[in-house]
Structure 1
Amino acid sequence: MSTTTLKTWQAYAFAAPAFIALLPFLVACVFILRFSLSGESTAIEGFSIRAYQDLMTPFFGRSVWLTLRLALIATIAVMFMAVPLAFLLTSLTSPLTRRLLTVTILLPMILNLLVQAYGWTLLLGPSGALNKVLQSLGLIERPLFLLFNETGVLLGLIQTSLPLAVFPIVSAVRGISREHLEAASSLGANNWRVLKDVTLPLLRPALVGAGSIVFAFNASAFAIPLLLGGRRVQMLGVAIRDMISPLFNWSGAAAAGMILILMTLLVLVTSAWLVRVTTEKTKG
């Protein structure tokens, strides 16, 4: 057995626990696919594409468009916030300050989504802290409606997905050689030119990868759209939930779930292709 083949088998053996952990998810995807092709709405019997045909309605189309739009807007906002935070984390010299900022960024991943949603409710509600402050300052006369609409959902999506973008970018920033930056500065480039022509191109693979993860996370979100948007913001996660209960349309929910999975996979595959292309350009 050649050395290359041996290393390949060692890599497979090393990754075996991860494959085993992912196996139930893959089996569930196959089960969902089979249910989406069922001839019955509440049981797996026969084969039919009726569940997909039933989704070809303006309501479901609006739900898909709303999901894509909110996920994209939230992803763009997260990326604009994540890059400065990543640079700040890598530039801090005080270990205590760096740990405190890290914990602050990680809070959305530590706290339960239900607790976070109720926190947003207390902050953004008609009688919440934000409206009270704005009214006390005389900036508004009547409370702003920031809940149970797209604004509240966007704020929740941005907050919960921010850590998913910050830390991959932090790793990429730490991997940038100081020699590149010093060489650009010695050639007369100002800070903005260094950021535009050197730093961002080197960070492009990490930015694309982090953005794809954030988009996939936001597109499949359920708790935040349900709690902060209610029935008024029908993202796909909420629509699938409504198909299951109270409609008990299991095959329709499975078909909608497969569409969501395919949308997410398309984004991930596209981002992987962009990462490969940008990496080759950077090396070239």
Structure 2
Amino acid sequence: MSTEFLPKKQALLFAAPAFIAILPFLGACFYILRFSLSAEQGTIEGLSIQAYRDLMTPFFGRSVWLTLKLAFIATIIVMVLAVPLAFVMTSLRSSFFRRLLTISILLPLILNLLVQAYGWILLLGPSGVLNSTLKAMGIIERPLFLLFNETGVLLGLVQTSLPLAVFPIVGAVRAISPEYLEAASSLGAGHWRTFRDVTVPLLRPELVGAASIVFAFNASAFAIPLLLGGRRVQMMGLVIRDMISPLFNWSGAAAAGMILIVLTLFVLVASSWLVRLTTTAKESS
């Protein structure tokens, strides 16, 4: 329902449940902010930026860089996979196969992360299915180390965040009028040029929005880096967890959490700006 047909008061009332649902999250953010400025590590007392100063270390800098790097690479891979999947879902005529593909894509959101992580361990472990098969075929002599490193974490991030990109793109693909594609075809454009010059510009706002959601989701990941990366892949979620337990440095964990929130918000704001910019450019052209 569009708010263009609703008076402002009715629109606010219509959105009131959503605002109420967001309030606890906003309250938690303000609580974390206050704790990060506490002069004590375990209690909220006084005002100090010492917790932020303590984070200015090479270890925490490497954790921030690793988080941004893995989240960015995973986002690129997810978008490359999500666009073809979205087109396949919209082009399927059989309702059975369309539902089957939808369920398959939704599985990472339905299954527990522990189950998914242990599935990756059984598949990619040193004595897992993949290494055992490659050894039996004589392709490798020693097992490939695909777990408890950045490769394993990257695979887990891509799998868990793929549905977050596919379904927004599916809705955008269905909204494209066939007249645009027919016009491009009548002017002599091939499939690839039609996709590059017509489809991608029409999907650009949704692509940027989906990518920002995937990036924010991956940057704040905790379970996947813990289970598939172990102690070797110290993303920010693990660093914050270690500050809470066993170090009990609550103010330091709150400061690290605020830095993660700020980085995520920066990506979301930048993506919103890109969406507005591309939309304005599309309307002016």
TM-score bracket, shorter-length normalisation: over 0.9
Identity value in percent:
76
1:1-284 mapped onto 2 (5 Å cutoff):
7-284=7-284
Q: Which moved more, 1:8-17 or 1:176-185?
A: 8-17
C-alpha separation between the residues in 2 aligned to 1:132 and 1:38? 53
1:4 Cα offset (Å): 7.9
TM-score by length of 2: 0.97
Structure 2 gaps of 5+ residues are none
Q: Deviations over 1:171-216 (max 9, x none)?
A: 0000000000000000000111100100000000010000000000
How many residues in Structure 1 have an aligned counterpart in Structure 2? 282
2:42 partner SS: coil
Q: 1:227 to 1:87 in 2, by over 3 A?
A: same
Q: Deviations over 1:110-169 (max 9, x none)?
A: 001111111111111100001011111111101011111000000000000000000000
Q: 1:74 to 1:5 in 2, by over 3 A?
A: closer
Q: Which moved more, 1:57-66 or 1:132-141?
A: 132-141
1:226 Cα offset (Å): 0.4
Which residue type is aligned with residue 38 of structure 1?
A: S
Q: Root-mean-square deviation (CA), in Å? A: 1.2
Which residue type is aligned with residue 265 of structure 1?
A: L
C-alpha separation between the residues in 2 aligned to 1:129 and 1:98? 29
Q: Deviations over 1:223-259 (max 9, x none)?
A: 0000000110000000000000000000000000000
Q: 1:5 to 1:170 in 2, by over 3 A?
A: closer
Which residue type is aligned with residue 173 of structure 2?
A: V
1:67 Cα offset (Å): 0.1
1:5 Cα offset (Å): 11
1:231 partner SS: coil
